[in-house]
Amino acid sequence: MSSTELQLAASQRTSLSPMEQASRKMRMIWIGRVLFLIVFLLIWQVASPYLDKTVFSSPADIARNLVESVLTGSLWPNLWTTLEEIALGYIVGAFAGIVVGFILGSNEIVAGILDPVMIAIYGIPKIALGPLFVVWFGINLMPKVVMAAVIVFFVVFYATYHGVREVDQDMLRTIQLLGVSPTQIRRWVIFPSALSAIFLGLKMAVPEALVGAVVGEMIVSNKGLGYMIQFAATQLDTAGVYAGLFVLMIMALLANSAVNQASGMKRR
Q: Where are the domains of the chain?
A: 3-50, 59-267
- For residue range 50-78, what is the model confidence (pLDDT) as tens digits? 777 777 888 888 899 889 888 888 889 98
The percentage of the chain sitting over the pLDDT mark of 70, rounded to a whole number, equals: 85
Which residues are within 8 A (CB) of 156 and not within 5 positions of it... i.e. 6 or more apart? 93, 94, 97, 98, 101, 198, 201, 202, 205
- Return d(Cα 136, Cα 246) in angstroms, integer: 32
Where residue 254 falls among pLDDT bands split at 50, 70, 90?
confident
Q: How far is CA 206 from the centre of its chain?
A: 2
- Specify the pLDDT at position 88: 93
pLDDT computed for residue 153 by the predictor: 94
CB-based contact 110:173 (threshold 8 Å): no
59-267 to CATH, choices 3.40.630.40, 1.10.3720.10, 1.10.510.10, 3.90.1010.10: 1.10.3720.10
pLDDT score for 152: 93
Higher pLDDT, 24 or 188: 24
The mean of the pLDDT values for the chain is: 82
Q: Look at the pTM and tell me if it is higher than 0.85.
A: no
pLDDT tier for residue 240 given thresholds of 50, 70 and 90: confident
How many residues does the structure list for the chain?
A: 268
Task: Please say if the pLDDT value at position 164 is more than 60.
Answer: yes
DSSP H or E run through 121? helix 108-122
- Please report the pLDDT score of residue 54 as a whole number: 74
In the predicted structure, residue 183 carries a pLDDT above the cut 90: no
Candidate from 115-124, 142-151, 161-170, 201-210 with smallest mean pLDDT: 161-170
| 91 in Cβ contact with 206 (< 8 Å) | no
Burial of 83 (0-12, 13-18, 19+ CB in 10 A): middle
Backbone phi, psi, residue 139, to 5°: -115, 15
Residue 115: which pLDDT band, with cuts at 50, 70 and 90? confident
179-188 long-range Cβ contacts below 8 angstroms, 24+ apart: 186/102, 186/106
pLDDT band, very low/low/confident/very high, at 169 (cuts 50, 70, 90): low
Rounded Cα distance between 191 and 106, Å, is 10
Q: Tell me which of 158 and 174 has the higher pLDDT.
A: 158
Element (H, E) at 65: helix 59-72
Contact 250, 188 (CB under 8 A): no
Distance CA(158)–CA(172), nearest Å, equals 21
Query: What's the confidence (pLDDT) of residue 110?
Result: 83
